[in-house]
Amino acid sequence: MNNPKLQADNPIEVLIAEDSPTQAEQLCYYLAAHQYAVTVARNGKEALAAVLARRPAMVISDVVMPEMDGYTLCREIKSRPALSDLPVILLTSLSKPEDVLKGLACGADNFIRKPYDSKYLLARVEYILNNLELRKTERVRPGVQLSFGGQQYYITAEKQQILDLLISTFEGAVQINEELEKKQEKLEAANRELEAFSASVSHDLRAPLRKISMFASMLAEDHAPALGPEAQIHLQRIKEGILRMDQMIDDLLRLARLGRQELQLRQTDLNELAESTRRELDGDLAGRQIEWRIGRLPTVDCDRGLMKSVFANLLSNAVKYTSRRDRALIEIDQTSIGGEVVVFVRDNGAGFDPAHTQKLFGIFQRLHRQDEFEGTGVGLATVQRIIQKHGGRVWAEADVDKGATFFFTLRTLAANGNQPREAAAHEVAFERI
């Protein structure tokens, strides 16, 4: 840095107000490496005392601190006539517009977002110090009253101060945008790798699986009489394993395609979708006693095909895990949680240990043994991906042997102004005996 104000025998003094020892040490390292003399205060109160005892050339302060935050420290410094021109830079992870307005209201000279690039921070320090004389010529402070988000802000900073603060905020936004672009590039590269992986899975895994299936069939057809009962059982398990592996490959490929699939949004009646899905399950329910309760579900903008997959997975799960109930009860309805419209599917089946809820939506994660309930462990991961593509979230609540409830929200639920039903009179009940 070519700063004429920096002299090895007369270094510029900078006070750091930072309650994090790690952050403070990092700042000290950056500044000391460029011949600044650094003093550290652990909170705003201690920093103010240090400023009053020995005025530094600049104060760099964290915003969130005990015993006086950065905003208050800055306000206290700027309110004193002898210190009003002392530059104050605020460091913070806060980035909302109201945070910037608070910085302006307290008279901050710069507002740098964490995590910051050391070169950028040092450039801002040098810029402010080099323009101290220019700033002194603009010490006309007409007050401006601003209202934002229901809060009032009284701004008395001069033009250059406001400009510096807004520039630093803009540069922070540009940095965030650049980081997002890099992440987007990485995501696109990952998607390309996933496409290649999907093709590999389809070809490389299915080829040996077909051979195993072919030889198992030949063995059963040509040598069945020579096989004993135990060998017959082993052969049957091989066939079952082949079918399960084939289904897992299909499910995995469908899940991979979800990431590349564009949403085809159109108005969809979730009641009609839930009922049509229920009817499609009827063929597999011979002899089962299931009471279906379908409430008044909303009409939403969604990808009908993908949302049909959500209901197919959730309802088939409910049917599967209630298979040991003499009389199963499956409920599909909506409710309001914290003012948010939520659709849910509830059953009175096997449930699961709530301690394992975090594993529920992972690929190939299953909370029950294969011999208890069949499945590949991809269905709920698919549900989560679809709901997330719609800007929503999905979660579950359950207890062992007390059933489970799966909830999901969609961004368009709130946008369409749907309201949860107010009375059971709207409920349509279906029963299969």
254 within a domain of the structure (yes/no): yes
**269 shares its domain with 393:** yes
User: pTM of the prediction?
Assistant: 0.48
Is residue 354 within 8 Å of 367, Cβ to Cβ? no
304 within a domain of the structure (yes/no): yes
Encoded tokens for 262 = 């564009």
* Cβ neighbours of residue 176 closer than 8 Å, sequence gap 6 or more: 95, 113
**3-class state of residue 256 by DSSP:** helix
**3-class state of residue 173 by DSSP:** helix
| Cis amide bond preceding 115, omega within 30 | yes
* Cβ neighbours of residue 205 closer than 8 Å, sequence gap 6 or more: 245, 249
Task: Check which CATH number belongs to the domain holding 26 and give it.
Answer: 3.40.50.2300
How many domains is the chain built from? 3
- pLDDT bucket at 176, cuts 50 / 70 / 90: low
**273 shares its domain with 421:** yes
d(CA 76, CA 106): 8
- pLDDT bucket at 424, cuts 50 / 70 / 90: very low
Encoded tokens for 223 = 């040598």
Beta-bridge partners for 113: 92
**149 shares its domain with 193:** no
Which range among 44-58, 108-122, 164-178 has the greatest average pLDDT?
44-58
Q: What percent of the chain has pLDDT over 70?
A: 73
295 within a domain of the structure (yes/no): yes
Pinpoint the alpha helices (H) of 144-228. 159-200, 206-223
d(CA 379, CA 400): 20
168 within a domain of the structure (yes/no): no
Task: Check which CATH number belongs to the domain holding 193 and give it.
Answer: 1.10.287
**252 shares its domain with 291:** no
**220 shares its domain with 270:** no
Encoded tokens for 329 = 């009860």
Does the pLDDT of residue 374 top 70, yes or no? Answer: no
pLDDT in tens, 276-296: 999 888 877 777 888 999 999
Residue 7 zone, left/alpha/beta (φ > 0; ψ -120 to 50; rest): beta
For residue 170, what pLDDT is reported? 63
**54 shares its domain with 118:** yes
Is residue 309 within 8 Å of 338, Cβ to Cβ? no
428 within a domain of the structure (yes/no): yes
Read out DSSP for 374-407?
A: ---S-HHHHHHHHHHHTT--EEEEE-TTS-EEEE
How confident is the model over 175-189, as a mean pLDDT? 76
**Closest residue by Cα to residue 34 from 11, 57, 58, 16:** 11
For residue 376, what pLDDT is reported? 54
**413 shares its domain with 292:** yes
Among 157, 191, 222, give the residue marking a domain's end.
157
**368 shares its domain with 395:** yes
172 within a domain of the structure (yes/no): no
Residue owning tokens 């849910």: 344
Among 212, 235, 260, give the residue marking a domain's end.
260
Does the pLDDT of residue 103 top 80, yes or no? Answer: no
For residue 259, what pLDDT is reported? 63
**3-class state of residue 372 by DSSP:** coil
- pLDDT bucket at 42, cuts 50 / 70 / 90: very high
Task: Check which CATH number belongs to the domain holding 407 and give it.
Answer: 3.30.565.10
**220 shares its domain with 295:** no
Beta-bridge partners for 41: 17
**329 shares its domain with 310:** yes
How confident is the model over 198-216, as a mean pLDDT? 76
175 within a domain of the structure (yes/no): no
For 121-156, letters b (16+ CB in 10 Å) and e give: bbebbbebbeeeeebeeeeeeeeeeeeeeeeebebe
Residue owning tokens 């806060």: 94
273 within a domain of the structure (yes/no): yes
**280 shares its domain with 203:** no
**151 shares its domain with 198:** no
Among 260, 293, 319, give the residue marking a domain's end.
260
Mean pLDDT of the chain: 78
Range of the domain at 389: 264-432
Does the pLDDT of residue 368 top 70, yes or no? Answer: no
